[in-house]
Amino acid sequence: MKALSDAVNDNKVRISYYGQDGGPPMHRAMLCLTCVDISLDADTTRSGAVKRKTADKREWTWGPDGEGAILLVNCDRDDPKSSDMDNMDFCVRSYADLRDMSCMILRTQGPDAIFDDHKLVLHVSVSDADKVGVFHARGDDVPHQYEHVLGSDELSYIVDRSSGQEEDTFYVEGLAFPDADFSGLVSFHVTLLDVPVENLPETPIFTDTVVFHMAPWIMTPNTQRPLEVFVCSVSDNADFVEAVSELARKAHCKLTICPEAENRNDRWIQDEMEFGYVQAPHKTFPVVFDSPRDGKLQDFPFKSILGPDFGYVTREPYNETVSSLDSFGNLEVSPPVTVKGKEYPLGRILIGSSFPRVGGRRMTKAVRDFLCAQKVQPPIELYVDWLCVGHVDEFLNFVPAPGRQGFRLLLASPGACYRLFREKQEEGYGEARLFEELETVTTTTIDEILANETLRRENDYVQSCIDWNRDILKQELGLSEKDIIDLPQLFTVIDKEASAFFPDMVNMIVLGKHLGIPKPFGPMVDGRCCLEENVRSLLEPLGLTCTFINDFFTYHTLLGEVHCGTNVRRKPFSFKWWNMIP
């Protein structure tokens, strides 16, 4: 049938029955048909608008030619008076809340009498019901008129179609991110039911289905433009905060200082949280991932960052002990890479583990499962259990740079440090002292360091651990040696756990071309720190500007550095996650 019916049974087909031998019809019948159109539509073309689609709505496909609707987890708090995230209630509080949802339209065309005598039911499966909430636009276009009709305990909703009404508008919000037990796909169905006159069960006549994919949480690497810098103000770090503030001003970044009343003397803001974002064709907003470390900063992400168009997510471990590896200095992401022809346009997540050691510390399964389930930045596990703190940011970093990859991987390198110190010794600077500018710190000379066999053995061990990770990074990120820069760094090992001997320069904050690097207080050669000069010679030819920040007593002696004490929110990728092929 090519056209909709104007009235019930307005299309007729005459049927004639013949015997085996032919001849005149043995019997005739008239089949009365009514053509109606029922379609459940969403933005399956990913254009930002709901368009009529007759095919492929049951399938969700990745890639630039893929199709399927996208749903945001409504995890921000648009109403400042609310005590929780927007998706924790069953109401639409504002138009801002509504804009975080995805539109779904039920189109019904045909004679009113058909819909008077049949039921239209919108429904969702039991397994999907706790992942979504659906609101029906009823009456006037004001927030309180949006009725919660599906989700949680509500599995079905009878759509009351008014006479002549051809469209019903629904708004869908996400309640859960993809995870180990949730692929991210949810399906909605509308079914036309025949209601018999007698006391018999209703019979389904037709069902239409549309599938949504929950938008993943996406991290942003150092190569993305910085938008906002976070730092904690505590009792002893005023100079550090001022140095970070000046760097933020140079990089044209917003600066947010977490006051002592909120941080309760917990300065490790990098460990407490990680910034990312969620994106659909109609909306993008940042989401902070709150780590399970739960130090004294534990309330800051939820109380101070969660807000209008700023979402929140966290993961609690399942009967596991939280270790230092669950702090988010142990969670980084690479810039986009291509590995053996396989593209990772959003980069790959890097986390530290006890591998290859048997036993030892490992990031909790709840966090690892969450990161893996996002699919768009498949994680790489690195070996960090040789470190006292055990974070990937203690030995690696990424900086933007010209060339094939668009970045360089920075690795801490005891080998590079020994080569530099031998070079300075041969030039006659063996008596030059580390820490000479620090009045209360015992100094040591280049000669003494090179003669210290115990320190040398410890750093040979550290170098072997970093080299193990170097090989993994080259293989998993498709890097060559020319993509890697070794920064001079020494470590000391106590009770089989390593920590930085002098401030760990790789643990820097990257704000575009502006780098805030821990000041190493290295040996002075011709009035200049030879460690700083070496790092400048490696990074400044890339168009980067090096600013060395004194964090010795406020962070370094507490086993952290500049990166550990800061955090950066960055611009989302221009690449749309649904266009990749995981």
Whole-angstrom CA distances from 17 to 13, 30, 322 are 13, 11, 77
Tokens of 196: 């018999």
How many Å apart are CA 40 and CA 169, to the nearest integer? 10
Report d(CA 69, CA 61) in Å as an integer.
10
Closest CA to 263 of 37, 567, 2: 567
Of the CA atoms within 13 Å of residue 472, those in its CB half-sphere come to: 22
Is 189 within 8 Å of 124 (Cβ atoms)?
A: yes
Quote the tokens at residue 264. Answer: 């309760």
Distances from the Cα of 147 to the Cα of 90, 108, 139, 558, angstroms: 8, 20, 10, 53
- Residue 340, sorted as left (phi over 0), alpha (psi -120 to 50) or beta, turns out to be left
Joined tokens for residue 396: 């690696």
Helix (H, G, I), strand (E, B) or coil at 524: strand
**DSSP for 317-361?**
-SS----GGGSGGGEEEPPPEEETTEEETT--EEEEE-TTSSSS-
The H-assigned helical ranges of 427-452 are 446-451
Instruction: Residue count of the chain, please give it.
Output: 582
For 204-229, b where at least 16 C-beta lie within 10 A, e where not — what string?
eeeebebbbbbbbbbbbbbbbebbeb
Q: What angle, rounded to 10 degrees, do the helices at 414-426 and 453-477 form?
A: 130
Q: Is 207 helix (H, G, I), strand (E, B) or coil?
A: strand
Catalytic residue list contains 564:
yes
The phi-psi region of residue 137 (left if phi > 0; otherwise alpha if psi is between -120 and 50; otherwise beta) is beta
Backbone CA torsion sign across 519, 522, 527, 530 = negative
For residue 93, the number of C-alpha atoms closer than 13 Å in the C-beta half-sphere is 20
Give the 3-state secondary structure of residue 299. coil
Question: d(Cα 410, Cα 436) in Å, to the nearest integer?
Answer: 27
Q: What is the CA radius of gyration of the chain?
A: 31
d(CA 520, CA 503): 5
- Of 388, 465, 546, 564, the active-site residue reads 564
What distance separates the 2 farthest-apart alpha carbons in the chain?
A: 119
Cβ neighbors of 365 (< 8 A, separation 6 or more) are: 317, 318, 320
Instruction: List, as one string, the DSSP characters of 214-234.
Output: EPPPEE--TTSPEEEEEEE--
Catalytic residues: 564
